[in-house]
Structure 1
Amino acid sequence: MVEVITRGERRRSWSADQKRLIVSEAMQPGAMPAEVARRWGIGTGLLYTWRRQLLAGEFGEPPVPVPVFAQVSLAPAAERKAVPPDPTTPSADAVPAMAGRMEITLPGGAVVCVGADVDGSALRRVLAALGST
């Protein structure tokens, strides 16, 4: 009896476009990198290596901007600036209290009030639009 041992599957060669596609899929909100890696037949270590390379601009494109977090601080109510009432919006007394309500004061003075049920992608678009003005 002769046992023939052949070499395993050849190493796969991934193009820069394929790497970008896989990494961007793994970076989507709610995506699980381990599942993305399994679906594409790669290890998570390779996926994270490609992610680092993409963020550093090693795929022939400018570096991808790394998401940043906004600094949040809570001031006591007495220290908060009084914002003049806006006649186009209902008064604070007329707005029902919402559980999980947040007020986001932007550097330009705009205030965005959202509830806990706000859609994250919609809020990002609003904040991006207000930040670019």
Structure 2
Amino acid sequence: MAQVTVITGAERRRMWTAEQKQALVMAACEPGASVAEVARRADLQPSQIYRWRREMSGSVSGFAAVTVTPEPQGRAEPCDVVVELGGAVVRIAAGTSPALISAVMRSLR
């Protein structure tokens, strides 16, 4: 006679709606949030949140869209580049060090 094992409990392959995925990705992107902690609370692997985030970004290359607009006349200080990202506006002067620019842009992410 063959042995049969019946496994009870929650089904491991769950279907997540787009809204649920987006909510989990946004929770993991909050300042000070831990992807591992968000994943643990949702009972999934952190790699799943990273995959959803990559799929939602719509960009494989990692570059952001840039729109160049003329600067209004009459500004007091010269500014070579203006970056608007996530509601923040960063004005970069010509002599700014690349390390400083990189640090500021990383902090805006």
| Larger Rg, first or second structure (1 or 2) | 1
Normalising by structure 2, we get a TM-score of 0.49
Query: Which structure carries more relative contact order (alpha carbon 8 Å, separation 6+)?
Result: 2
